[in-house]
Amino acid sequence: MNSLFLVILMLAGFLIAYHTYGRFLGKKIFRLAADRVCPSHELQDDLDFVPTNKHILFGHHFTSIAGLGPIVGPAIAVIWGWVPAVLWVFFGSIFMGAVHDFGALIISLRNNGRSVGDISGDLVSPRVRILFLLIIFFLLLIVIAVFALIIGILFTMYPEAVIPVWIEIPIAVWLGYMIYKKGASHVTLSIAAVVMLYIAIVIGTYVPLDLTALGLSGQGALITWIVILFIYAFIASRLPVQILMQPRDYINSHQLLVAFVLLGLGVIVARPEIVAPAYQASPEGAPPIFPFLFVIIACGAISGFHSLVSSGTSSKQCYNEDDARYIGYGAMLTEGTLSTFVIAACVAGIGIGLTVEGETFKGVAAFTQHYSSWAAASGLNAKIGAFVEGAANLISSYGIPQNITITIMGVFLVSFAATTLDTATRLQRYIVGELGRAIKVPQIGEPTVATLIAVITAFILAFYNGSGKGALTLWPLFGAANQLLAGLALLVITIYLVRKNISSFYAAIPMVFMIIMTGWAMLLNLQNFFNGGNWLCFFIGVCILVLEIWMIIEAIIYFKNPYAPKAA
């Protein structure tokens, strides 16, 4: 099958879904009302609650939910074949992920911009609120620590990206100042900002900043970057959202559009055939496709982290409830589009040519070489490498130098990872505050104190073993736990719809599917942890699973009489 046909088919499907199923959800299920006052107006503080143009907020929301998830997930999952990956990205995005993101945004908009974890206390019970917030805190703790590490690794992998990524910060501050203080056009200035960024990309290509070249060892360079990134995360999450986060993410959304155009042109010009198998049930060393396909591909189809962004930062900035479909439903389909291009790069673009230790492989041999086993394809370098190699092949097919292409992709990867880092830190600040109120210790919710708790706990996790890689000890827990969070967020959305006497079918079916599949994956992971003697992950995993089961049992009790008074 030709990759061009696949991409066109997927994009057409997403476009149709947005204007049909998305419109139906907005009108008939969530019943959007343009005249309903949003928290951004009612609670405006010009720090977190800021009424925002829907296009700017779309950029922030999309880059926050995306990160590296829609890249690394599909880049490893295609080892089971391109058909399962494509089907899950397509149908998962439309009927599960977009419903999840859209629903979380709506219920937060109607509850003063609070998180789904906090709202669960109103819908089910105060016990559930504390349980849910603890689960969220743990997941965000891992995200902050791991993404600081990932960005540090990416800076060492792509030193050409260092200068452009850091130059983007003053460009974003300038953009935010001009839009909010001078009333300038966000369209014109954002284009100028992107032009400046790409000039920096060309500079970075020829002036790479490699800390090892400055006398630091490889490990020393990595630790230095991680420390710098924790300091950056603290500052970024304390700044008013419109000063740095919003404009920077808006620029990154333009980066995405440029990447779509570059990759789209590559697919049109090169028209590479898909060289991956359609289906491969048992790759060497790989876990079973069921249920792990639905865990490995998370952000490209559905991810619990998205509910935290929808009900965390985005709901505090949404200008009008009518914007919610564009932001919540539309951004998820855009993420599915990104995953589509990633799949095309990994299963077709890589076949144009893959060089390994001086030997070049083409066609099926290139895919087989990279995806020879689960171990060979599952490292961060391997997952990102498959995408970067395939994307570089596609883009260079019409004459852009490969060294420039690699820098473009490196900046793209780091920029999206950085968005996840500071958004997760900001979200953790909100969660600490909500948790403090739930346990009657509101003092820890003071913004600076809450941010310090978010950063210091992640720092301790990262450096408990002195390497900066401490969070990798718990990373094996993240995939299944994150997807279980998606199931629990859908559970909250379902209960909300039941209480409103609205058909809950459209959230309940995805909820049941996600809880079953990811609960199954968690049990298999626990078995592996037990057999391998990984007692830390085993015991923490058991605690997470017990908390999740407890939440589900409480919800089932309240499903029997959703209008009964909530237990204390």
> Phi/psi class of residue 454: alpha, beta or left (left: φ > 0; alpha: ψ in -120 to 50)?
alpha
**Total residues belonging to the chain:** 568
The pTM (predicted TM-score) of the whole model is: 0.94
**pLDDT attached to residue 129:** 93
Question: 72-81, 352-361, 423-432, 507-516: lowest mean pLDDT where?
Answer: 352-361
Q: Which residues lie closer than 8 Å to 146 by C-beta, 6 or more apart? A: 471, 472, 475, 478
- Res. 161: pLDDT tops 50: yes
- Res. 561: pLDDT tops 60: yes
Find the DSSP H helices in 439-504.
447-463, 475-499
Q: Could you give the CA distance from residue 320 to residue 55 in angstroms, rounded to a whole number? A: 12
Distances (CA, A) of 504 to 17, 493, 507, 508, 510: 19, 8, 6, 6, 11
Average pLDDT over residues 105-130: 94
**pLDDT attached to residue 556:** 83
- Res. 163: pLDDT tops 70: yes
- Res. 566: pLDDT tops 60: no
N-term to C-term CA, the chain: 58
Find the DSSP H helices in 352-401.
364-370, 374-377, 380-396
User: CA Rg, the chain, in Å?
Assistant: 22
Distances (CA, A) of 499 to 31, 502, 562, 564: 14, 8, 6, 10
- Res. 558: pLDDT tops 90: no
Task: Kindly indicate the confidence band of residue 554, based on its pLDDT and cuts at 50, 70 and 90.
Answer: confident
- Res. 146: pLDDT tops 60: yes
Task: Kindly indicate the confidence band of residue 567, based on its pLDDT and cuts at 50, 70 and 90.
Answer: very low
**pLDDT attached to residue 289:** 96
- Res. 42: pLDDT tops 60: yes
Average pLDDT over residues 371-387: 84
pLDDT per residue as tens digits for the range 51-97: 999 999 999 999 999 888 899 999 999 999 999 999 999 999 999 99
For the chain, give the percent of residues with pLDDT over 70.
Answer: 98
**pLDDT attached to residue 355:** 81
Average pLDDT over residues 230-243: 96
Q: Could you give the CA distance from residue 488 to residue 372 in angstroms, rounded to a whole number? A: 36
**pLDDT attached to residue 132:** 92
Q: Are 307 and 489 in contact (CB under 8 A)?
A: yes
**pLDDT attached to residue 501:** 92
**pLDDT attached to residue 90:** 98
**pLDDT attached to residue 389:** 84
- Res. 20: pLDDT tops 60: yes
Question: 157-166, 351-360, 362-371, 453-462: lowest mean pLDDT where?
Answer: 351-360
Average pLDDT over residues 9-24: 98
**pLDDT attached to residue 356:** 80
pLDDT per residue as tens digits for the range 437-465: 999 999 999 999 999 999 999 999 999 98
Task: Kindly indicate the confidence band of residue 251, based on its pLDDT and cuts at 50, 70 and 90.
Answer: very high
Average pLDDT over residues 212-235: 91
- Res. 362: pLDDT tops 90: yes
Average pLDDT over residues 282-290: 94
Q: Are 527 and 538 in contact (CB under 8 A)?
A: no
pLDDT per residue as tens digits for the range 116-126: 999 999 988 88
- Res. 309: pLDDT tops 60: yes
Task: Kindly indicate the confidence band of residue 568, based on its pLDDT and cuts at 50, 70 and 90.
Answer: very low
Q: What is the mean pLDDT of the chain?
A: 93
Task: Kindly indicate the confidence band of residue 230, based on its pLDDT and cuts at 50, 70 and 90.
Answer: very high
**pLDDT attached to residue 268:** 93
Closest CA to 73 of 52, 58, 88, 91: 88
Burial class of residue 182 (count of CB atoms within 10 Å of its CB; 0-12, 13-18, 19+): exposed
- Res. 267: pLDDT tops 90: yes
* Domains along the chain with CATH numbers: 3-106+113-120+129-560 (1.20.1740)
